[in-house]
Amino acid sequence: MDSDSTLPPVFARPTLAVSACLLGQPVRYDGGHKRLAYLTDTLAAQVELVALCPEAGSGLGVPRAPIQLIGDAAHPRALAVHDPTQDVTAPLQRYARERLAELRQASGCLLKRDSPSCGLRGVKLRASPTARARRRATGIFAAAVQAQLPWLPLEQEDVLDVPWRRDSFLLRLYTYSRWQELLREASERTALERFHRLHLPLVMARSQAAGRRLTRYVQSSRHPWHHAGTPYIQALLDVLRRPATRARHHRVLRSLADSLQPRVAAPVLRQLHAQLQAYENGSLPFSSVHAALRRCAHQATAADFCGWLYLDPYPPSLRDTKPETAAE
Ligand code: SF4
């Protein structure tokens, strides 16, 4: 992360672990794949993608017998569809343990939906091999990763289909990557305060109460910053899962515009406030008012401007052209 809040952020290249079949690798039970063009054509230009396949990687081979989840949602077993005596739960769990060190270094993980190994939610589960399937389980590998690394930005592919969910995932991926970089490089006491100040507008766009709570935590913490940091980053990533709202965005945008006031010409500022008003009324899209504030911030080069990460929390080439709030 750029340590100087007067400059737009410089983006590091985060590592994202991904189900190998989504990257086009022919590792599915039938030898096929489920390549997602967004991953291989767009995200790959900005993010280091690391492939993993729990089923092929745990020695089940390609092609292989399809498996399904049987039992209760809290502790399902992965059994071969055509031979329920073949239980592959343990190899899948072992594979998760073997990849744990690597996953700790990653800034996020994106898994294939519906898979009895990789699916994060809504995977088909049967009480017995012949019972009716219900969508209520988590895949064996996904559950193991979630239990071991609860703070890791972990999602399944369908978050990419919904603009605000995709935005939230990218936001958490890059925020956690900046945090990992901070842990590696920063030594001074003020590191946590600076990190918090730069991320606070992103929090306030989702929850003002959470923003105040995190600020109190940072200000009152007596522990060395990297010890205080673990509960901090978990709470921060948790808030960033929530959708932003138009009203909260408007408040953040206004306060950032006000912070530029002494350095921006009065007519430019008046125009910016008119655009903010139009955004609040719903007659101007978020992207327009966002771009207007970015132009003003560049002109102002304000030393205390803390809105750069709010304006560009991840590389602009990944930004969706649609608004990023759930409400819009
Ligand atoms: S869903 Fe997971 S286990 Fe299945 S082929 Fe894809 S990467 Fe492998």
For residue range 147-156, list pLDDT tens digits in order: 999 999 999 9
| Residue 230 Cα to ligand 1 middle (Å) | 31
Q: Are strands 154-156 and 108-111 parallel, antiparallel or unpaired?
A: parallel
Average per-residue pLDDT in the chain?
A: 91
pLDDT of 129-164, one tens digit each? Answer: 999 999 999 999 999 999 999 999 999 999 999 999
pLDDT of 267-283, one tens digit each? Answer: 988 999 999 999 999 99
Q: Measured between alpha carbons, how far is 31 from 192 in angstroms, rounded to an integer?
A: 47
| Residue 151 Cα to ligand 1 middle (Å) | 22
In this prediction the pTM is 0.92
Q: Residue 100: is its pLDDT beyond 50?
A: yes
pLDDT of 212-229, one tens digit each? Answer: 999 999 988 877 776 778
Mean pLDDT is lowest, of 147-151, 201-205, 230-234, 300-304, for 300-304
Provide the β-strand partners of residue 156: 111
Cis peptide bond N-terminal to 63, omega within 30: yes
Q: Residue 120: is its pLDDT beyond 50?
A: yes
| Residue 183 Cα to ligand 1 middle (Å) | 32
Q: Residue 95: is its pLDDT beyond 70?
A: yes
State the alpha helices, DSSP H only, in the chain: 37, 54-57, 89-98, 100-105, 140-148, 163-185, 191-204, 208-220, 225-239, 246-259, 266-281, 286-300, 308-311
| Ligand 1 atom 4: residue of nearest CA | 28
Q: Is 317 helix (H, G, I), strand (E, B) or coil?
A: helix
Q: Measured between alpha carbons, how far is 142 from 96 in angstroms, rounded to an integer?
A: 8
Atom of ligand 1 nearest to the CA of 115: 1
Pick from 29, 55, 99 the residue to mutate for probing ligand 1's pocket: most ligand atoms within 8 Å of its CB.
Answer: 55
